[in-house]
Amino acid sequence: MKINPPQRALQFLRWFCREDYLEEIEGDLIEVFEIEVQQSSKRAKWKFAWSVIKYFRPEFIKSFKHKEYNAYGMYKSYFKIGWRNLAKNKGYSLINIGGLAIGLAACMLIGLYVHHELSYDQFNEKADRIYRADMEIKFGDNHMNIAVTNPTFGETALSDFAQIEQTTRLRFYGGFLVKKGDVNIREGNVAWADSTLFDVFTLPVIAGNPKTALTEPNSIVLTESVARKYFDKTDVVGQTLTINNTETRKITAVIKDIPSNAHFHFTSFIPNIEDKSASQDIWAGYQNWNTYLLLKPGVDPNTMTTELNRMLDRHLEPDLKKFVNKSLAEFNNQGDFFKVSLTKLTDIHLHSDKPGELYANGNMEYIYIFSVIAVFILFIAIINFMNLATARSANRAREVGVRKVMGSLRHNLIHQFLTESFLTCLFAMLLSVGITYLSLPLFNELTGKSFDFSFLGSGSVIFLMIGLTLVVGLLSGSYPAFYLSAFQPVAVLRGSKGYSKKSVFRNTLVAFQFSASILLIAGTLIVFLQMEYIRSKDLGYSRAQKLIINNIDQLGQQLEPFKNNLTQVAGVEGLSVTGFLPVNFNRSVNAFFPSPTMDINTAISIQSWIVDENYLPTMDMKVVAGRNFHKGKADTLSIILNEAAAKFLGWGDVLEHKLYRLTEKETSPIAEYNVIGIVKDFHFSSLREQVKPLAFLYGEDRGGLTVKVNSTDMASVINNIEAQWKSISPGFPFEYSFMDQDFENLYKSERQIGNLITIFASLSIFISCLGLFGLATYVTEQRTKEIGIRKVLGASVAGITTLLSKDFLKIVLIAIVIATPVAYYLTYQWLQGFVYRISLQWWVFVGAGLIALGIALFTISFQAIKAALANPVKSLRSE
């Protein structure tokens, strides 16, 4: 029996040993083994194995460098071939790279936007433990969810519960004028804050002591940029600012500017302790403060909420006794309640939109919409790539066949195709960075954010981009790589296999592309129509040619002379002094009672705006019943309601009735108002909401001055008004805005989103068309001979064009069938967010389909007609 040397040792030797020595070494070892084995086979085997191990030394181990060199050569060849292919088919390369680059750039921009939106308030070190206390109040027919609490809520919770580490409150103060030299400059983002502000939020202090910064009256904390504005430096602690030309405030601290991704954008803070109402122990009212609670690590917010509700009920009891003479149980039994809930700090920006928010927040809905669009765009671009590559497989198939015959393995071919697609992606990525760079200013303008190009510097972004390039390269290159490399060389070279006219996979991809495009077109149309509806809707007042002048409260005694002077200015038709306007956020809610018994069940909360007798004519509001206010003292206890309030009260003839209200006065705690008029409903909040009950009270509110202008030369009117202002109040800035602009600002986010969706939808359609164009070019090229023969046999141009377009149009029709229900469902959901909305019209979807069909037809026919018009002699001459 012949004994073989140990196989395992031999395998090991073959694994590590250099090829050029292997045979010799193996031979020698086996020769020795053959001799040894005659004495003892076991010994011989051991000796053999040991010898093999002794050969495991640098001289005989395969050189890895050597191996790499080989692969490097192969990859060099892949790159060269890849580059040549790109350069050879310039048209396709342009479509591929251009489409991918636009897609990637769009994704990058959307990514920037989404990332920024999602990062709100994350900069706070204790962000995961900070919660805002929100209240839900049901009181008779009033039911509200508000982002604010009563003044002592946080303080009480802090002393009652060990689970709470700290609490702080913020309240919007508004704006004031700061004196710099001789001029006063308006600072619009001022907040009341507690001294614990810096314990809860991460607001780095540059100068001053955060512990004591907000403990003294008449102190102020500035942000870095405000400090620089007035002093050109940040080291200004101890200096004073002159506020509103009269009072002075001592600067106690300067903090870094608040990041743009914070849910508040204040530029200065003043201490809450100046405000007496901030320390009043009232629980059933005065919900004015955004209260933040910092929980201790590990505290469950849900159990905390239960505890806080118990605390709230406990303190509510005496208040209810005092104000409505009911116990808490009685109050709850009639279905009324006060509830507190906790909103996570990082959820405020995207998930909270309640009355009492410090600033308008974002909307999670749009984050989803944008992410979906980004994915769509990327997929459309990738599909282009895949489709063009597979369509071109006829040309490449022959190459694949020859390569295979020459000994190329399947994995070599896969590598080659993947290298090509990676190369394309790399170019696309580089190009997309360029596109992003160029389009960033435009994007900033559209979104109202301020992204800069520095995001490229961060490691994670670069990592992400490389990752994205690889993933896109793999995705877009995988289908051609695996599909083409599987061809049988014999079949390919004989010409029986390769490109097939009917590719189900390719058609499915095109159908998907067009479904996505139709979805986006329909969505864009709906958003556009809704925006147009809002813009053109009769809002119950006119906002054209209205000038709003700020800082009226600074005029003091000069107000009357100023008003008189203004009426003399040519073009001024009327003016009204009040801060309550449909286009700003100055709001005041009061509880009114229909009877002097003040039964809480019948109370209604009504917006109560203090206006003068000129308000209704200046705003072009219509009185539908009764009369307007008369100038003078007579109407101080008169009230004008809007239709919504009248309807709410449910009286037959409202003008006969009276309304009652609690006042602060001890002597006459109940005020009685005569209803003197009904004004037509007008929209004073977002069209997402129903018009709410509103009442006008007669009085003077110096929050602003609205001037009704009737002139074709607005500029000269403004100049004349400014001249009047300068002559009466030198030193105060003349600030004005147009009411229609303010209105636009109310719907700014909606408009921005609308614009962005339009742009990205157009991009996706453009990329789809690029792909379709490439595909159409290819198919007509393939069928040149067929077309030539058909023409010779008498086919008409129209007939050939139809022939070529038919297949594609079928796909687009299928896409319409798929996309329409989805588009209908999604737009329906979006419109539910608006109380005043357009109804979904069938023609929008038909229109979207037709647009897609039209664009597709246009793209294809370009090639089809060109092919149909070509002289058949040319196409048939060759061969």
Partner 1 sequence: MKKYQLGEFEEIVMLTIAILYKEAYGLAIKNEIESRLKRNVSMGAMHTALVRLEDKGYIRSHDGEPTEERMGRPKKYFQITALGKKAMEYSRETRNALWGAIPDVSLNVKFS
Q: Which range of residues in 51-59, 78-86, 233-241, 297-305 is near partner 1 by CB under 8 A?
A: 51-59
Rounded distance between C-alpha atoms, residue 64 and residue 406, angstroms = 26
CB of 65 to partner 1, least distance (A): 16
Shortest gap between Cβ of 45 and partner 1 (angstroms)? 15
Instruction: Give the number of residues written for the chain.
Output: 879
Q: Which of 1, 7, 38, 57 binds partner 1 (CB under 8 A)?
A: 57
Q: What is the closest distance, in whole angstroms, from the C-beta atom of residue 68 to partner 1 in the complex? A: 21
Smallest CA-to-CA distance from 428 within 468, 386, 376 is with: 468
When asked if residue 655 is in the footprint of partner 1 (CB under 8 A), the reply is: no
Which residues, 6 or more positions from 718, have their beta carbon under 8 angstroms from its beta carbon? Answer: 547, 736
* Binding of partner 1 by 23 (CB under 8 A): yes
> Considering only residues 30, 394, 433, 795, which one is a binding residue for partner 1 as defined by CB under 8 A?
30
**Residue 54 near partner 1 by CB under 8 A:** yes
- 59 is a contact residue toward partner 1 (CB under 8 A): yes
Query: Do 838 and 533 form a contact (C-beta atoms < 8 A)?
Result: yes
Tokens of 284: 């059933």
Q: Which of 9, 13, 29, 691 binds partner 1 (CB under 8 A)?
A: 29
Please report whether residue 876 would count as binding partner 1 according to CB under 8 A: no
From the list 339, 365, 737, the residue with the least C-alpha distance to 527 is 365
Shortest gap between Cβ of 57 and partner 1 (angstroms)? 6
Q: Tokens 């509001």: give the residue.
A: 621
Q: Are 258 and 203 in contact (CB under 8 A)?
A: yes
> Cβ of residue 456: shortest distance to partner 1, in angstroms?
50
Check residue 32 for interaction with partner 1 (CB under 8 A): yes
Q: Tell me the C-alpha distance between 776 and 784, whole Å.
A: 12
Axis-axis angle for helices 64-88, 90-118 (nearest 10): 110
Which of 12, 16, 51, 782 forms a contact with partner 1 (CB under 8 A)? 51
* Extended beta strands in 644-752, E state: 658-662, 670-679, 694-698, 705-709, 736-738
Q: Which is nearer to partner 1, 11 or 488 (CB)?
A: 11
The Cα 49–Cα 396 span in angstroms is: 50
Stretch that binds partner 1, among 25-33, 314-322, 577-585, 830-838 (CB under 8 A): 25-33
**What's the burial of 589, exposed, middle or buried (CB within 10 Å: 0-12/13-18/19+)?**
middle
Using the rule CB under 8 A, give the single segment among 20-28, 379-387, 434-442, 779-787 that binds partner 1.
20-28
Please tell me whether residue 24 binds partner 1 under the rule CB under 8 A: yes
The contacts of residue 620 (CB under 8 Å, 6+ apart) are 541, 542, 708
- Does residue number 37 form part of the binding site for partner 1 (CB under 8 A)? no
Please say which residue, 25 or 865, places its beta carbon nearer to partner 1: 25
- Tell me how far, at minimum, the Cβ of 46 lies from partner 1, in Å: 14
Binding to partner 1, residues 312-341 (CB under 8 A) = none
11, 21, 636, 719: which one binds partner 1 (CB under 8 A)? 21
Interface with partner 1, residue 505, by CB under 8 A: no
d(CA 598, CA 260): 47
Contacts of 495 (CB under 8 A, 6+ apart): none
Interaction between residue 49 and partner 1 (CB under 8 A): no
CA-wise closest residue to 849 among 607, 514, 549, 614: 514
Instruction: Write down the least CB distance from residue 47 to partner 1, Å.
Output: 10
Provide the pairing of β-strand 670-679 with 623-626. antiparallel
Q: CB 75 → partner 1: shortest distance, Å? A: 29
Q: How far apart are CA 502 and CA 129, in angstroms?
A: 59
Looking at residue 234, its amino acid is T
For partner 1, the closer of residues 33 and 541 by Cβ is 33
Q: Does 825 bind partner 1 (CB under 8 A)?
A: no
Establish if 65 lies at the interface with partner 1 (CB under 8 A).
no
Q: Which residues are within 8 A (CB) of 230 and not within 5 positions of it... i.e. 6 or more apart?
A: 178, 180, 236, 241
Told to check if 60 binds partner 1 by CB under 8 A, we report yes
Q: Which stretch binds partner 1 (CB under 8 A): 21-29, 542-550, 683-691, 757-765?
A: 21-29
Catalog residues that contact partner 1 under the rule CB under 8 A: 21, 23-32, 34, 51, 54-55, 57, 59-60
